[in-house]
Structures are given as C-alpha cells and as structure tokens.
C-alpha cells in the first residue's frame, strides 16, 4: 500500500499577529504542510522552514502574495504547483482589510481598496488555485465575520460589514457551484478575536467638520472598539478549534468561533430589527445626534 500523500494548506493574509499566522501554526502542529502568504513576506526569496526535530509538524513555506495583483497571484500559482505536485487540500482565504467610518465620510478610494482585498482578491485567488483544489478534492475556506450577518447593522462599519456579507454570500454560492467537482467550501463566521487587525484599521477617526462632529468622541470611541478591539478570544485557541473542524471528513458548512460569536448569531436571528436598531442608536451616539439636531439636547461645547 503506498504511503499517504502529503497534504498542503495555503493561507492568505498570514501576517504576524493575525488569524492567518495562528491558523498556520494550527495546521503545522497537525502535520499539514503550510504555504503561508502575506504582503510582508520577501518578494525575492521563498523561505522554507523545516519541522523541529522529534516533532510531527508540517513543513512551512513563506511566500509573498498580493491578492490584488494578477502578476503576484500567477507567480504564487507556479510556485505552489511545484511544491504540491499540483494538489492543494485547503485554500484559506484570510486576507482582509478593515475600514471603519461613517458612510457620509467615506473615501471611495479606500472603500474600493477594501473590496479589492476582501472580495475581489478572494475571488481571484480562488479562481487561480481551483485546478489544484479540484485535483486534491480539497476545501476552500473563506474568512467571514459576524459583521457580515444579516441584521448586524453596526453604525460606522458599513463598508467592512458589507464586504464580509459579500464574502459570505460568495462562499454560499461557491459551495453550490463547486460541488460537482468534489471541492468543499466552508465559511468561518468569526467573532471578536485578539489580533493585530484592530491596530491597522483605516479610518476610525471622525473630523470636527463632519456632519457627525457633534458626537465625534462617541463615534471615534465606537469605531476603535468595534468588534471587540481589546476584547475577544485568544487567536491561537480559535485557530486550533477552527482547524480541528476543517480536518473533519465532513467539513461543516459554517464554523462559528470567537468571542460570543454563537450568541450574537442567535440574537440577530431572534430579535426584531426595531430592537437591534434601538440598541445601536443608543450605543453609537446617533440618538444624541438626533437630539442635537432637533435642539432637544444642548451641545456641551457651545455652553
């Protein structure tokens, strides 16, 4: 009987301090070879890291990949095909950007950049690696978020939330369209996790001349604290639990992990929209803004 084929996972957006790095570690510990990709990786050299002696860890390859660049994707496909002999078992689409700001203050250039990475980059990478996934009867893993759930509707997160809603809808469509090829698709619906993601948010600051200037301190605080910020589960714990699910023979359609993720999913399905809107208006300062506009509340700065 021939020895089992070496299995490979490719992870996008595996920057230091993020979920991709934690997922890389989780796969490696389970003997899976990992191609860890990010913008920070060296463009000129491919780094190879052998397992520590005496362990059953997988082999690590660190590769530069810009999911918005067709040239970068093509170069990665060539390298990965050589490494894996044309068979890829998991593609984890983890690369993502966060841009939090009120929609009226949105920079369309930054909004397009966010969708280029979070949505169109995911599609481009999946298209490029699909032949290898098909050859291995592999699995596409798309990083969704509780922010993409219907009814989540957090103020100042509209662009990020809509990009994640797009990811989750695309993932559902992929699951159906890829089934004839025996390629499975899993969507990660992740709640707040302690990562470096929140330190690299774009936006997250309302200027005094904004139409939201009267509540700018509340808005800025809310944006910096969105999705948990300093709260959340340990990323390595979440990654380990997630990868355990991905290694199952019957990979789940959805994997829900992270701080209060399951509860939040349940509440947004159960509670009326009017209740959620009322909660969000109070917590985001929008009820106060309405009072200021209507003259029902005096602006403390004008006293």
- pLDDT for 52: 83
The answer to whether residues 223 and 298 touch, using CB atoms and an 8 Å cutoff, is: no
| Distance separating alpha carbons of residues 81 and 178, to the nearest angstrom | 20
pLDDT at residue 298, rounded to an integer: 62
Strands 99-100, 33-38: pairing kind: unpaired
| Alpha helix stretches (DSSP H) within the chain | 19-29, 70-84, 108-115, 121-136, 158-178, 216-225, 235-246, 261-270, 273-284, 286-293
| Given the residues 100, 156, 160, 259, the one annotated as active site | 160
Question: Which residue ranges of the chain lie beneath pLDDT 70?
Answer: 1-5, 196-204, 224-232, 258-262, 297-303
- Describe the crossing of helices 158-178 and 108-115 by its angle, rounded to 10 degrees: 30
Active-site hit among 164, 194, 212, 257 = 164
* Model pLDDT for residues 131-163, shown as the tens digit of each residue: 999 999 999 999 999 888 877 778 888 999 999
With 0.95 as the threshold, say if the pTM is over it: no
CA atoms within 13 A on the CB side of 226: 34
Do 223 and 204 contact (CB within 8 A), yes or no? yes
Q: What is the pLDDT of residue 261?
A: 65
Structural domain contains residue 285: no
Six token digits for residue 24: 């890389």
In a domain, 276, yes or no: no
| CA angle, 180 then 185 then 187, to 5° | 155
Question: Does residue 26 lie in a domain region?
Answer: yes
Q: How many domains does the chain have?
A: 1
In a domain, 152, yes or no: yes
Cα separations in angstroms, 74 against 60, 78, 262: 20, 6, 38
Q: Which residues form the domain of 17? A: 8-201+228-262
- Our answer to whether residue 43 is catalytic in this structure is no
Provide the CA 120 distance to its chain's centre, in angstroms: 13
Rounded Cα distance, 268 and 66, in Å: 34
Indicate which CATH number applies to the domain containing 77.
Answer: 3.40.50.720
259 is catalytic: no
From the CB of residue 196, how many other CB atoms can be counted at a distance below 10 Å? 13
Burial class (CB in 10 A: 0-12, 13-18, 19+), 192: buried
Q: Is residue 267 one of the residues assigned to a domain?
A: no
- Let me know if residue 272 belongs to a domain: no
Q: Which residues pair with 64 in a beta bridge?
A: 38
Within a domain: 145? yes
215: in domain: no
């Amino acid at each position: 009987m021939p020895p089992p084929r070496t299995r490979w996972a490719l992870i996008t957006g595996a920057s230091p301090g993020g979920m991709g790095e934690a997922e890389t570690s989780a796969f490696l510990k389970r003997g899976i070879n990992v191609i860890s990709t990010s913008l920070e990786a060296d463009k000129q050299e491919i780094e190879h890291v052998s397992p520590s002696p005496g362990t059953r860890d997988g082999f690590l390859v660190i590769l530069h990949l810009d999911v918005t660049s067709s040239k970068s994707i093509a170069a990665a496909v060539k390298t990965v095909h050589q490494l894996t002999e044309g068979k890829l078992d998991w593609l984890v689409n983890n690369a993502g950007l966060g841009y939090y700001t009120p929609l009226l203050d949105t920079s369309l250039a930054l909004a397009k950049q966010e969708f280029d990475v979070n949505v169109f980059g995911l599609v481009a990478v999946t298209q490029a690696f699909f032949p290898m996934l098909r050859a291995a009867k592999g699995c596409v893993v798309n990083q969704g978020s509780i922010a993409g759930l219907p009814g989540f509707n957090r103020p100042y997160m509209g662009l990020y939330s809509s990009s994640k809603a797009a990811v989750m809808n695309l993932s559902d469509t992929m699951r159906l369209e890829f089934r004839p090829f025996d390629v499975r698709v899993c969507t990660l619906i992740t709640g707040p996790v302690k990562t470096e993601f929140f330190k690299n948010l774009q936006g997250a600051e309302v200027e005094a001349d904004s139409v939201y200037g009267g509540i700018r301190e509340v808005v800025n605080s809310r944006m910096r604290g969105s999705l948990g910020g300093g709260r959340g589960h340990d990323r390595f714990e979440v990654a380990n639990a997630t990868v355990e699910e991905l290694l199952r023979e019957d990979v789940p359609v959805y994997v829900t992990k992270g701080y209060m993720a399951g509860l939040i999913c349940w509440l947004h399905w159960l509670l009326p929209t009017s209740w959620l809107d009322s909660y969000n208006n109070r917590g985001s300062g929008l009820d106060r803004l309405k009072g200021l506009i209507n003259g029902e509340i005096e602006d403390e700065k004008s006293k």
